[in-house]
Amino acid sequence: MVTIADVARHAGVAPSTVSYVLTGKRSISADTKSRVRESIRTLGYQPHVTDRGTSSSRTGVIGLVLPLRAGMHLPGMMRFVTAAVTTARRHDMDLLLMTADDGASGLRRAANSAQVDGFLVMDVEMDDDRVPLLRQLSKPSVLIGHPATARGLTCVDLDFEAAGAKCVDHLADLGHRSIGFLGAPSAVYRRSTGSAHRTMNGFSAAAMRRGVAATALSVEDDHDSVLRATKALVRAHPSMTALVVHNEAALGWITACLRASGRQVPGDVAVVAICPDELAEQMSPPLTSVRLPAEELGRHAVDLLAAKLDGKQPPPLMLLPPRLSRRASTPDPALVHRRAAQSG
């Protein structure tokens, strides 16, 4: 059976372009129309014959489900959105942003409408109430993030447990034996967002494995909360010499708040962040970081959804390995001591 995907490949266009030629829903250039129609004739495609995800009734629009919730850092989320929009255009598709926080019921309403061909789903919880419905829908979906089990789904994510562990291993290798952790706002942990929980779990497990004293706190995304949290860590652990931060909104205040707590970065406290590289490089001093690959995740998610719309079935879970880039915030402790002695 010849499908729209077959016609699209033959004509060298996106499947949605074939749909637009068939339905007339959008203006397509005369040359492209001619090429698509010639491919239809050559392959013997019958427009009334459809298969799941490659129907001639496709809209060429995908829904990005990004509920606006407490504790979300919108500038960070927009990196995912920008990558998804850009990649969707390469597939000749548009993106509909869906920001209502109405869980499975809202997703069901969207699925029953004719607006979108499939879904990208973000802010995925460990026990997400949208997951059972996503497994049942006739419209395909891809999750940016993953719940406790990815069975029957398609998910792409950073390996956040490995990311938390990588931060600890880097600091332990430098000789640090007391490490603090500042995580996402408390609301993010209360709703069991997968990335936050997995990062903290990976951090804690690695600290135990390396014999490192560790304390982990959530922190809200305002200056006073960051100051209180850093002071609390220093009071509780005067010997703390390193800090891991998994909270983009808090990063701009970390150095100043540690200074207000009597600690200099990097002389007294080494800092590792889990964030985009460009954000880590903007800090003073530039922060060693495990890269949060928002653009890569957004691109992979759209590519996977496009593949599903073409009738393919990707593996349930794609985990990107963490990559650490060392910068000025985690110098060799011996070098710090030598510089201190020379300045003294």
For residue 231, the model assigns a pLDDT of 95
The partner residues of 125 in beta bridges, in order of sequence, read 193
pLDDT at 49 over 50: no
Q: Which helix (H) or strand (E) holds 291?
A: strand 288-291
Q: Poorest-confidence range of 54-63, 86-95, 306-315?
A: 54-63
pLDDT digits (tens, 9 = 90+) for 292-339: 999 999 999 999 999 999 889 899 999 999 999 999 999 987 665 554
This prediction's pTM: 0.82
Long-range interactions of 200-205: CB distance < 8 A, separation 24+ = 200/164, 200/246, 201/161, 201/164, 202/160, 202/161, 202/162, 202/163, 202/164, 202/165, 203/164, 203/165, 203/167, 203/168, 203/244, 204/164, 205/161, 205/164, 205/165
Q: CB burial class (10 A; 0-12, 13-18, 19+) of residue 336? A: middle
With vertex at residue 191, the alpha carbon angle to CA 185 and CA 194, rounded to the nearest 5 degrees, is: 85
Strand pairing class (118-121; 155-158): unpaired
Please list, in sequence order, all residues whose beta carbon lies within 8 angstroms of the beta carbon of residue 282, skipping any fewer than 6 positions away. Answer: none
pLDDT above 70 as % of the chain:
92
pLDDT at 48 over 90: no
For residue 252, the model assigns a pLDDT of 94
Please report the domains of the chain, with CATH numbers, ordered by start residue.
1-58 (1.10.260.40), 61-158+294-323 (3.40.50.2300), 160-292+325-343 (3.40.50.2300)
Q: Poorest-confidence range of 7-21, 259-273, 303-317?
A: 7-21
Residue in this structure with the two tokens 């995740």, named with its chain if needed? 297
Taking alpha carbons only, the member of 273, 277, 215, 278 closest to residue 246 is 273
